[in-house]
Every structure is written in C-alpha cells, then in structure tokens.
Copies of this chain bind each other. A is one copy, B any other.
Amino acid sequence: MKKFMNDPARVVDDYLSGLVRAHDDILEWDDDHRVLQRKNFPMTPKVGLVGGGGSGCEPTHTGFVGHGMLDAAVPGQVFTSPVPNQIAAATRRADMGRGVLHVIKNFTGEVMNFGMAQEILYFEDIEVAQVIVNDDVSIPDDGETAGRRGLGATVLVEKIAGAAAEEGAGLSEVQAIAQRVVDRSGTFGVGLSSCTPPLRGKPVYQMDDAEMDLGIGISGEPGRARVPLQTARDIAELMVDEVLTDLAPPSGADLLMLVNGMGGTPHQELYLMAGELGAAAEARGARIVRQLVGNFVTSLDQAGVAVTFLELDPELSRLWDAPVETVALRWGR
C-alpha cells in the first residue's frame, strides 16, 4: 500500500484535521461529537441539512459543509456509517428551530443509523425529515434487494435542497425538492481498478489490465459485471444508455450532467469522458444545460468514472445556480 498517511487507524482524523486547518474560515470540528459543522450559521433561522456516511468518499460529505449546502456532516470510519449518537448530535447542532433534513445514501448501515438517530431525537423538540438517495441504476428496482445505492445524486440533492433551505423554504418543501432531485436522477459507474482501504493495506480485489467493472458503487465492492475494457466512446454510450433508459426523460429534456471521478482518475480523463458522455446524451435528444466535472463522490483511490443525469426544471436550475461556498463546490452568481 502506498498512501500519504501516518497510521492507517488515524487516516480519517488526520484528514479532518487537515481539512479544518485549511478551511477554518467556514468549518469547525466538534471532536467530542465527531461533527463537522459550519463555522458561521446564518442570522435568519433556516431549515438545517445534515449529511453523512462512511469516509473514503471525500469530498462527500465533509467537503459540502458551508453556505448553500450542509450545516453539518458526520463522517464514519472508512466505508463505515457514522453512529446514531453522532448523527443526533449533528442534528441538534444544525437545528435552528425550523427542523432538519437528513440526507441519507441508501446503504443499509446509513439508513439504519440515521433511523436510530431519528428515534433518539423523537422526544426532543426537533422536527426531522429525511430523503433517501438511491440513484444507482445498475441495481434493479425490484424490491428484491436492499435497493439502489445512493451515489452521485447525493451532491445534487445537497446542493439543491441546501439552496432551497438557504432561501427560506420550510422543512416539508425542502424535503420535497430533495425528493424531486432523487426521483429525476440516475447514475451509472465504471471502474478500472479496485481501491485500497488504509486498514486493509491492499486492494480489495484484483483486475486485469484488459478488464473493467460495470455498475460500481462507492464502498470498495466490485462492480456488478466484469467485461473487457472498451474505448471511452463505447463506455460512454453504454453508461448513457443505462442511465437514460432508466430515467427516460422526455425528448429534448434539459439535463444536468455530473461526470464524477472515483478519486484516482485525473482531470484529463474526466474531461475526455465528459465530452463523450455529453455527445452520447445529446445524440439521444437530450440537452446538457449544466455540467459538473471532477472527483466528488469517490471511493478512495479507485480509478473510475460515473455519470449522473438530473432532469432539470426551472426551479431546480435556479437552485443549482444559487451561490454556494463549501470546500468542494464554490460559486456565486
């Protein structure tokens, strides 16, 4: 294993320490409760947003704390859900009297632990709502499994629901907008390598140079199928087909496209894929009107790329464009 680290058991703490040191204008770390929170909460109370999950997917969720997105994030250990008490503490911190939305990726541990946190909070005077992100179209939506995993749409949910909260929307409205993003999103990922969790010390699985994995997640598990490596264009057509067949947007729909690297894929390849993915989507009659390209929902150092499409409407586009100031997304218009 080759990583920049001190002690495999302290990677998450050391990462958080560096993150907060670099961005102490917007972030604060509560070490007692293991909550990463906004340094400056807004003067006018708004709905709070809390996201969390296993570490290793950075900048999700820690890089999305700040104005216009999350009020607090709860990082677990690598690929391990945060615990209920931690989530409850974050929720108390994020509550400004108007309720808190939990953004939960659809992984068994996360759903369970956020649920237990909600039970802990039930008798406190904090209104909690949740959205479960399940945009992974590689898994059949047939009720036979734990369901579709929450992947790239998480960023879109946190950005768009965060903007709605910042504008003053109420909890049920923020929840409804978050759910609308989930309902209108789909993601499909392709991996070229495994990843190396620090405590494991070696890749989770082996792959040949001539292979790729289809339908990857973000927790180090292999993809749902292993096939021969193809050209970027063929991979892009396959990915777009998987997502748009499932999402089935009307012809001429306005789409947001997130081209997401898994941590080990560089800028050059991500933009090369963005070009192919955009062309493939437009060949099917879609219009790509917003694009985000980079490493956002990752799996440590895995080489891979996932595409997320979101069918926009004027309200979602406006909320997407609204100002945001976090570590990993930052713009003002």
Name A residues whose Cβ lies closer than 8 Å to a Cβ of B. Answer: 1-7, 11, 14-15, 17-19, 21-23, 55-56, 58-59, 63, 192-193, 209, 212, 229, 231-233, 235, 259, 263-276, 278-279, 291, 293, 295, 298, 300-301, 303, 305, 328, 330-332
10 cross-chain CB contacts under 8 A:
A4-B235, A4-B265, A14-B276, A15-B269, A18-B272, A22-B271, A22-B274, A58-B268, A63-B267, A266-B300
- Residues of chain B with a CB closer than 8 A to A232's CB: 4-6, 14
- Expressed in whole angstroms, the minimum distance between the Cβ of A320 and any Cβ of chain B is 14
Within the assembled complex, what's the spacing in Å between the Cα atoms of A58 and B270? 11
Within the assembled complex, what's the spacing in Å between the Cα atoms of A247 and B266? 30
The residue that A278 contacts in the complex, of B1, B11, B21, B59, with Cβ under 8 A, is B21
The residue that A15 contacts in the complex, of B271, B295, B332, with Cβ under 8 A, is B271
Q: Most chain-B CB neighbours within 10 Å: which of A7, A15, A235, A264?
A: A15
Q: Does the CB pair A303–B2 fall under 8 Å? A: yes
- Residues of chain B with a CB closer than 8 A to A263's CB: 266-268
- Residues of chain B with a CB closer than 8 A to A331's CB: 330
Question: Of all chain B residues, which has the CB nearest A305?
Answer: B4
The residue that A264 contacts in the complex, of B21, B59, B264, with Cβ under 8 A, is B264
Number of copies: 2
Q: Does the CB pair A22–B264 fall under 8 Å? A: no
- Expressed in whole angstroms, the minimum distance between the Cβ of A302 and any Cβ of chain B is 9
Q: Does the CB pair A18–B274 fall under 8 Å? A: yes
Q: Does the CB pair B18–A273 fall under 8 Å? A: yes
Q: Does the CB pair B268–A22 fall under 8 Å? A: no
The 9 A-B residue pairs whose C-beta atoms are closest, nearest first, are A18-B275, A263-B266, A18-B271, A2-B192, A58-B267, A18-B274, A4-B269, A22-B291, A19-B271
- Residues of chain B with a CB closer than 8 A to A301's CB: 264-266, 269, 303
- Expressed in whole angstroms, the minimum distance between the Cβ of A53 and any Cβ of chain B is 14
Q: Does the CB pair A2–B298 fall under 8 Å? A: no
Within the assembled complex, what's the spacing in Å between the Cα atoms of A193 and B264? 12
- Expressed in whole angstroms, the minimum distance between the Cβ of A88 and any Cβ of chain B is 25
Q: Most chain-B CB neighbours within 10 Å: which of A18, A232, A295?
A: A18
- Residues of chain B with a CB closer than 8 A to A15's CB: 268-269, 271-272, 275
- Expressed in whole angstroms, the minimum distance between the Cβ of A169 and any Cβ of chain B is 25
Within the assembled complex, what's the spacing in Å between the Cα atoms of A8 and B109? 42
Q: Does the CB pair B18–A278 fall under 8 Å? A: yes
The residue that A275 contacts in the complex, of B17, B56, B59, B266, with Cβ under 8 A, is B17
Within the assembled complex, what's the spacing in Å between the Cα atoms of A268 and B195? 13
Question: Of all chain B residues, which has the CB nearest A231?
Answer: B6
